[in-house]
Structure formats: structure tokens, C-alpha cells
Copies of this chain bind each other. A is one copy, B any other.
Amino acid sequence: MDLVTALVAKVGAMALGTDYAQQDCSLARALEVVGERWSLLIVRDAFYGVRRFNDFLAHLDIPRAVLTSRLRSLVAAGVLRKETYQSSPTRYGYVLTETGRELWLPLYGLAQWGERHVSERGARTLFSHADCGTRLDRHGSCPQCLRPVPPEDVMMRPGTPDQPREDPVSRALGGPHRLLTPITVDGTGRAG
């Protein structure tokens, strides 16, 4: 490949390929950040309390290189923040920023849509208002308290899975759990 061909290829790749650059639309902007494959599932796991590289890896069955790349771009976009949870040896985790937490509504909305319309057969995961125990409606509000529930006040618990996963993270999420509180994975030599 000569230089001109290489340049043309490069410019072509920049113009389209990795982004929706020509779309003057906030949805396109949002999708540049969270629209790539795996991104929203990573954000979902972050809401579930997953924080560590290896836990995302085990729970998502995502190639390591792709996880590295997605975490990096989500941090760059301000959705996640890299946080040291232990020094000597230094260990990092990834937690949602306030910007990331504001993805709760669209993310919950998409999940509810999937529940209602794609291979419906009872909720796989149930979300309820931690204060009163009422199940959230499709808009993410509490029908009892009649207002939107922020993610930190949401409890999740497993519904009726069809093929339960058998990784440590899924086991850690086997019982009721408040969103955004770190999960405690044990069974692989890690303290709870």
C-alpha cells in the first residue's frame, strides 16, 4: 500500500467508521459514547455494583482487549471514574460518575422495553423502591410514592432466569442488592 492509499484510507476511517460525526443530533452524540457494543452492558454492571476488571470480565464474557478499550473510553467520556481501592499493590476499580448515573433512566427504560417485547416470559430482574419495597413502573417511578426513584434508592433482585449464569459475580448478585453498592465476590480466594 502506497502513501496516498494509506492517507485516503485513514481519512475515510476518520470521517465515518467509528462515529456518527455527520449527525447533528444529541442521540448520535450519546451513542458515540455508550452506543458501541458492550458499553451499555458495562454501565449496567456498574449500576449493579461491579467495579473490578476481572469481575466485568467474568460477568460479561467480553474479550479482555475489548473491555480494556471500553473502560478507557467510558472513563474518557466521564461516565466512569478510575478509583484506587487498595494500595501496595495498587488496584483500580471503575465506578459511575454523576454523569454515568444519569444514564439510569434510559438504561432502565431500554431494559423494561426488552422485557415487554423481546422473548417475554416474566421479569429476569426485579427492581423496587428501597424505601417502600414497591416495584418500579416502566418509567422508573415508584407507583406508591409517585415520584422517580434515583438509582441509589433502587433494590434489585433476580426474577426468573432461563439459563442462570455460573460465574462468581452472578452468584454474588443472587440475592437482593442495592444498586451502586459494591458487590462482594467470594469463592475465588477474595475476601467478601
- The answer, yes or no, to whether A72 is at the interface (CB within 8 Å) is no
Q: Copies of this chain, how many?
A: 2
Q: Which residues of B contact A112 (CB under 8 A)?
A: 26
In the complex, are the beta carbons of B44 and A161 less than 8 A apart? no
CB pair A105 B139 closer than 8 Å:
yes
Q: Which of A17-25, A81-89, A179-187 contacts its partner?
A: A17-25
CA distance A68 to B74 in the complex (A): 31
The total of chain A residues at the interface (CB under 8 A) is: 52
Tell me the smallest distance from the CB of A51 to a CB of chain B, in Å. 18
Greatest chain B CB density within 10 A among A25, A28, A115 is at A25
What is A's interface to B at a CB cutoff of 8 Å?
16, 20, 22-35, 37, 40-41, 44, 60-61, 77-78, 99, 102-103, 105-107, 109-119, 123-125, 138-139, 148, 161-165
